[in-house]
Structure 1
Amino acid sequence: MADKLKFALAVLLLVAGIAGFYLLVEQAMILRVLAVLAGAALAVVVAWQTEPGRQFFGFAKDATTEAKKVVWPSRKETIQTTGLVFAFVVVMAVFLWLTDKGLEWVLYDLVLGWRQS
């Protein structure tokens, strides 16, 4: 029950920060943005105190650790793969165009005889 109240408070703080952005319409933009950031920061601090919040931040930390383990492709590999995908798309476009025109010729000229001059 306490976690639900804390989470509701976190949502309320976030909404208050966003509302502050609109209520401070007469103020400088930096103050309006700081109101949103302060509301978001306070919401994160309160959410961190809940069990689901701790689980989420643990998951986010683990996801970051796993993302650092990924071996990203080099620039050369990326360009080669992109070139292959582009070539495949062009080949498929030509194939589908030829198939469409072939079916059009068979149906309209041979079967139905609509295009005979």
Structure 2
Amino acid sequence: MADKLKVALAIALVVAGVVGFYLLSEQALVLRVLSVLAGVAAAAAVASQSESGRRFVGFARESVTETKKVVWPSRKETVQTTGMVFAFVVVMAIFLWLTDKSLEWVMYDLILGWK
């Protein structure tokens, strides 16, 4: 029950930040944006104290760790792969165009006799 209250309070803090943005319509944009950011920061602090918030923080940390394990392609590999994809797209476009024109010729010239 306490976790649900914490999550509800976090949602209320985000809503309060957004409401503050509109209530401060006469103020500078910086203050309005700070109102939203303060609401989001306060909501994150409250939400991280709930069980689901702790699980989310743990998941985020594990995700960062896994991202660091990824072997990212080099620039050369990226350019080569992009070139291969581009070449394949061109070949497929030509193939589909030839297929379309062949079927058009068969349908209109041979079968229907239209010219």
Alpha-carbon offset, residue 24 of structure 1 = 0.5
Backbone CA RMSD of aligned residues: 0.5
Match of 2:19 in 1: 19
Rounded to whole Å, the distance in 1 between the matches of 2:12 and 2:87 is 52
Equivalent position amino acid for 1:83 in 2? G
Secondary structure at the residue paired with 1:73?
coil
Rounded to whole Å, the distance in 2 between the matches of 1:91 and 1:23 is 58
Q: TM-score, normalised by structure 1?
A: 0.97
Rounded to whole Å, the distance in 2 between the matches of 1:31 and 1:21 is 8
Match of 1:40 in 2: 40
Match of 2:75 in 1: 75
Rounded to whole Å, the distance in 2 between the matches of 1:29 and 1:8 is 28
Q: TM-score, normalised by structure 2?
A: 0.98
Q: How big is each residue's C-alpha offset from its partner over 1:51-91, in whole Å with a ceiling of 9 and x where there is no partner?
A: 00000110011001100111100000000000000000000
Match of 2:31 in 1: 31
Secondary structure at the residue paired with 2:67?
helix
Structure 1 residue ranges (4+ consecutive) displaced by more than 2 angstroms after TM superposition:
none
Fraction of identical pairs, as percent: 73
Match of 2:99 in 1: 99
Which 5+ residue runs of structure 2 have no aligned equivalent? none
Alpha-carbon offset, residue 18 of structure 1 = 1.2
Rounded to whole Å, the distance in 2 between the matches of 1:22 and 1:82 is 46
